[in-house]
Structure 1
Amino acid sequence: MELEKLHRRMIEGIRRLGVKPEVVEAMEKVPRHLFVPEDRVHEAYDDHPLPIGDGQTISAPHMVAMMCDLLDIEPGNKILEVGGGSGYHAAVMAELVGKDGEIYTIERFERLAEFARENLKRAGYENVKIFVGDGSLGLPEFAPYDRINVTCAAPSIPPPLLDQLRVGGRMVIPIGRYMQELYLVEKREDGIHREIKGDVVFVPLIGKYGFRE
């Protein structure tokens, strides 16, 4: 009962952000406490990042809401997520794409990938596929994607991700090492359009087109 009360409080905060109603509804359906370590369950609905191991974090609820809102996710979309973490962000996007949509997540750490798989299975999400590898390379075998969600900061937009985004598609990605900015990237017929949406703080993207360890 206490977790339900905290969840409702979190949702009220999300509503005040002014994001699309579909995003609020999706976050209302996802039990965030199933996606955090057991010793952090009491903080699951607080609006701040939480450590999930291997130096990684689960993003603050407001950031998940804002990124999903910027992506303008539609039912049936095929989405690539770079940085799967505990699986929470993927679960919210799975709600937004519906049963006809697909989420492909790439995570650098095997332990976290397995943690996410267990969490998603426990929460009942079957349309999320998790892979382990270099997120900066994307997953070309399933491209093109309607949306790409990058949950770690890159030095610049990785060329493979642009290649794998379909024309008409959207990507959100944090750019910068220490002072980061969240970019909305749109791939249009006339080229790539970028727009800065605010200052953010994310863990670094490590890989060929990311930062070095």
Structure 2
Amino acid sequence: MASSVQPVVAKTNGGPAPKAAVSAGVMQAVGKTAQTGVQRPAVSAGMGMDSQAVRAAMVRKLQAQGLAHPAVLAALGAVERHRFVDSALANQAYEDTSLPIGLGQTISKPNVVARMLELMCEGRTEKLGRVLEIGTGCGYQAALLSHLSREVYSIERLRGLHERARENLRRFRLSNLHLLFGDGMVGYAQGAPYAAIIAAAGGNAIPQAWIDQLAVGGRLVAPAMTESGHQNLVVIDKTVTGVVRTVFEAVLFVPLKSGVE
């Protein structure tokens, strides 16, 4: 990326959107678009105060499945998942199921999100430093990451979803969360090195750019194709002597794509 032009970062603190700027044709300004192709979410009238009890029940079910990291449990209990789906689906928000969010994308099942976050935080008792999320989607995982990290950069290649995430997250005023519109395949070098990188889409391989932007001692969690020919959760730990790759269970994520739309 050209260093002479700085990309625009939109903080989710309710402030005005920045004006147009472009960095090497990848990161683009975040402005309001009249046509996004994605419905704006509405809060279900049936949730409100009751959502806390429903979230607590969801967390208990995840614990019964083996989730144990205290910080991940606390984040899942704090973030209102129904705020990130359309009102017609709000009553399903705390079920262990993926839900459509528009443009052919989904919000992942709570147990998959929890599993990836626990792998990311494994062995750590304090908040992570700077984290990069590839694939903002509707913004739910980004909100969870803001509870687990000191600073989060989240990048989305689909403008409609990027705009939706901005709208969903504005109410939470998360000053440590920065939303980017750009090509996640190249990561975000300006924020590197990262203590952790997490991806919500799976490709044939882990992009080298992500590994390059990971700090020594950092961890990357992403779905990827493995030698078995299936998509699995893959964890990459970066050490002073190289990288250690560990393959976990099979998963099914949307394809990792380059470019922006």
TM-score of the alignment, normalized to the shorter chain, above 0.5: yes
Whole-Å Cα distance in 2 between the matches of residues 18 and 52 of structure 1?
25
What amino acid sits opposite 1:197 in the alignment?
Answer: F
SS at match of 1:77: strand
Tell me the number of residue pairs that the alignment of Structure 1 and Structure 2 aligns: 206
Question: Residue 178 of structure 2 aligns with which residue?
Answer: 129
Whole-Å Cα distance in 2 between the matches of residues 79 and 184 of structure 1?
15
Unmatched runs of 5 consecutive residues or more in structure 2: 1-48
The structure whose RCO (Cα within 8 Å, separation 6+) is larger is 2
Deviation sequence 1:39-92 (CA, Å, 0-9, x none): 211111111111100111111111111111101164251000001001110111
Structure number with greater Rg is 2
TM-score, normalised on structure 2?
0.75
**Is 1:156 aligned with 2:208?**
no
Whole-Å Cα distance in 1 between the matches of residues 178 and 114 of structure 2?
21
Question: Residue 127 of structure 2 aligns with which residue?
Answer: 75
What amino acid sits opposite 1:88 in the alignment?
Answer: Y
**Does structure 2 retain, via aligned residues, the 8 Å contact 1:174–1:180?**
yes
Question: Residue 175 of structure 1 aligns with which residue?
Answer: 224
**Does structure 2 retain, via aligned residues, the 8 Å contact 1:187–1:193?**
yes
Deviation sequence 1:2-34 (CA, Å, 0-9, x none): 433322221111222233111101110111111
What amino acid sits opposite 1:108 in the alignment?
Answer: R
Whole-Å Cα distance in 2 between the matches of residues 3 and 27 of structure 1?
12
Question: Residue 7 of structure 1 aligns with which residue?
Answer: 55
SS at match of 1:127: strand
Work out which of the residue numbers 178, 196, 202 in structure 1 matches 2:253.
202
Query: Greater helix percent: which structure?
Result: 1
Percent identity over the alignment is: 39
**Does structure 1 retain, via aligned residues, the 8 Å contact 2:222–2:233?**
yes
**Pairwise CA RMSD:** 1.8
